[in-house]
Structure 1
């Protein structure tokens, strides 16, 4: 009786001590127990994804690959595989498994070693979210209390869903959704049972059991998982036998990029880091939908690459990138050694490294780094005359042996005929920007040939002299100060003595062709340099500069000298496109934007662009242009409201300039009566659309070349030049091996930049109805005499209808033509001619 009493007292004391210890431990670890709200609102570290406007993935940023899935999206066999392997009593216990704990304790007592074990899925979840993997008693105690707390807060399905999305599975894959994509390039629903078992076996040791790193151990672990499924009666023996016989099919799959567009995605990355900080931007699962359209963006990238290759190839072949062996001194390398050399080459853009292994009269056989042998026929070789300088090329080759010899390492790329052609890495650079002039949406943007080669985004960072692309703005200032499209100026050389320099300034037309008396419409269409200078003088330098600032250009970029009339101002392509948009949209200054929407990891919209748009409602909120805050203001959509882009020039002024730029494409006069003439942008006629206006731009020595053109809905600017300012693009002679449609002569906006514009706009405008710029109210259309710009009674090739702002049309007819028809500056006749 005494023994029984003492035994009972002992158990009571032990129980009290245990309870006190348990309570003490609870209060000790309580600060580390997460709140209910933390568990309910737990955020998975999910990479930031960047999409096109129409939903194609163009890039993702973040150290961890994760594709969150809901419990309903997880196939039951995959759930069974995890439960059978990690915690078969998951749906029965309270967060801890007493049987497992006892088993683990026995192992500890018998061996003296702290081996991993007894952790339920809930305990693993607690460790993964809130603790470390350190094997310490206090960590295990914390793990138990947190697991019990989790079970009290979340349902079993919620716990399992969090666990399967959080678990580390190797190769930077976190969660089963990412693992399916990384190892098999599939969605969960498309996995086989063997593949599911492979993923379910990874949590034990994601690195050591990785099927990519160690396929033998991974296969053994996979079969253990399948064995657990069989033991727990999730699968039959036949299913087990079939699954264990399956080979290892895992290999690394990168992110499933639908359209690689690195320049726009880098713009998004920088903007998101600026808004949210790098950690939140990279790990919060943001989905950013850009403003670019996939079809149009791809067309811009293709046009830029093709155009740079065209420029580079017409200047000649610069030779091989390396000599692998000299056939006159040594025998050819083995294929194995050739492939080893080729694998050292970093392929850029569309270029592929190749080794020449055989050459005959009109063909060459080359080996690619994937061991594929291809034939380069004569049509894909004959362009390659020798490069001498940017101004000189060698004679056109007559045989392939003049171009290539075995042992050369070269570049090849596929052309528009899907055939491989001899190629080389372009030396010149380029940028394309395409906007919607009605609201500033960036439809496409490309900052260079290759982001891997250079991350410098020339579209938004490169300030380059704009050449004759400045002239529409100069002419706009002239129209605002009394000139009309019918005003006559003298297209003749200018000689002005500069006393301070002791030299004469002689701006010349390019080419040096002078027409004498010429109307302003034709002068702009044919890009007459001397007329631009005369207009600047007529309006005044300061007044002209002030007018240019209305188009959003920075004051520091607009130089105050007469060279401004010839395009000495340095402006980025996107700034130029923004300014030009005013001629397409009726005189409004829009703000370019490239982010349409930001969503969180669950698809909730956090931000939607609310750009200023072209509108006529003067009572709507109007934004004042700000040239100090950058091109990309953050829009706030908490209280969306109509925002009208500010009117910076009149609708009439914008329309008249667009009309003159239309003549730059379509020309004027009458060819049958030998009075026809072409504008500098005549190559745009290839698109067969009458709604296009455009302007070429070329600086001195063809250092920078431009073409900007638009209709009412699309405004696109293209720049081509060298990254090192001051390097001329040169000129090319005619290549007798090529057809008559080739480009030759001095490089210029029309020859160097416009072909990319034409190729791009062909896609951008495909299937779109013509969108001409309609004449606004306040204009009159009157027939004028083409020679004098005065009114005409004739209805023949000597006259045409011209638009005038009300009150500016001529009042005299050509029959009463005065003796002095020139509207000219104050220079003397000797200075004019």
Structure 2
């Protein structure tokens, strides 16, 4: 080793020995710099990728189309068969205006509300984006928008309202392009002519006419502020329907205008002092009536419920809206309403909802009169449902939760509540009545008792699964007969009834199947079918409601040949309202009809839109008008294409023969007229067998005696019960066939002037009240001939056993009621031809005596001097048996 090397080693060792002993000799890595470098590299990579992604998204953005920028694209309505039937917007209520025709204060109202730095930015507002980003981080993406007026123009013409990062990137990119191609005034003109203001008004000039009946250049600051507040939610802030909400929104806009120095605070306060109700002077803009207008209005309402779809999109974004519209059913509904209502009182209205029983798809809606058809009375009214609620709140829950059978006995007596007594509409009560018959007759007392037995908790739970929104704490027994504090619409009722016709499955009614956006995105609408009740509940309610249509209150609404189940309902004005409007007792306010086949379900309401007419006279449904709902229901259902299958009985239901009105099973003695088939949940306990009807006791002491002094056979018997009982008497001669001779009320039967031979009798007791018969009792007697006289031929040589005298051996005996041939009479010479077998004592060719009347006594063989014998025992004396 060289000296120099050792010297260096020595110096290093000397240096190392001067360090503390516990100091490590291994150098540590410098981690802080390493992590910073890694993060920087990752950020750089992400930044590059982000820029690339933005570049790709921007590059694949649609091109700006001047035509689309100028004219909103109408949305298309497709029917249930995907056929285009209408446009949502078209050219309806649209007046275009140039920017120089719009006063500056009106322009400023929108700029202050929508985009205060509109004239400063180049399409996107960085400061606004920062504020919106903070809100989105804090509350979730989409919590707050940062759209400028330029971006809104792009969104409403080129893109959709989808809340996604891709859409926002494209929106910003295209907005910058828009600002490069068009001036601020041009962009603001596009915006003000494009936006939707509610009530089918598109653009600022149209809105000025619709709400104030003014030209746009006549608008004052408070009117401009009201219009500027509408696009956020046109329906909610509609000043014609929600003036309170509209006024609050207007005042927010006025505050913004003052805040940004477009007007003074004093001007803002003066404008806020004017009531919205005083501002509105509705004008009229002529529009073409759309086909199926009522249905389309329901489509628009349903579209508003779809998350991510804004109201403005519906009218101007070029959507394809696939609906459940049945054009034939819709046209039928409109035609029937027009025919029924057009010539009646101007305030009389009706609403119809027609739904597919299996799917809940809304097939047709009808509401209003003449050319003003809408969906208001079909889906937006809230009226008391009357007795149509009984299957939903009373009997349905009872079957579902307590497994009542359809013959379950309820008490039809007035129900005493805290402050009222509930009775039937006619104040008549019958005592015990089956659930089926109570529903057929629409008894109120039994419905309330069923509700009370089930309880409000279970009753409201059952109803809420069918589309209702009831609180058990405020659902009182009066609800059981439709006495709601609020009410329901025909659409709600129709939706609930579909579940009864669909095995207990409920699907929320909707008009929309799917929505297709111009960029190809599709939103499917799922009706989410759910099991709302057991299949046995649905079928048992349906079976009872079929009886309502066949023999109950729904007879006028029935359609021959259809398997229809349904229920009627009416409501009356309260005493307070009757006194207020001068109405008679029992004045009808609402009339309902709801029913279904396996194909369609319909609910119809008829009533008055107002409680009084223009002269202040009270309005109510007269007896004729109260039947309109049933007639409208019948006329619509009779025109539809029903599959006409019947409702299928599930395996969970069994049929049991019951005795009417007893709640017990029929016995073997129950007459058929008193039997009815009722439905039971399979496996549930069956009631006992009725003992109301018993087999009549047998005849006692039956005997037959020959009264020689009267030359007659007297048949007598005993029977304990006499009331409602008659006796059937049968007899035979010489062991011939037993034939019915008479039905009498007495306990004695007489055969006058009998011929020698054997007579057999049977007597049966008949209970006419119960339509039952006893076992037959029998007896016999033999009458001997005079001494030395040959008895009538019997079981002797050359004759068949038991062959009556005068009957050829081997032939059939004479038919019942026909005369036979007596002994020693052969119908030979000297008699009229064609009268063989004329009984003794009857002139040849004459009619035999009538059964039950005294006849001519034959002269037995070998007996001298026949005589006539008249009976006098009230029908017991009959013609003799054919000897």
Q: TM-score if structure 1 supplies the norm length? A: 0.47
Q: Which has the higher contact order (CA 8 A, sep 6+)?
A: 1
Structure of greater Rg: 2
Q: TM-score if structure 2 supplies the norm length? A: 0.44
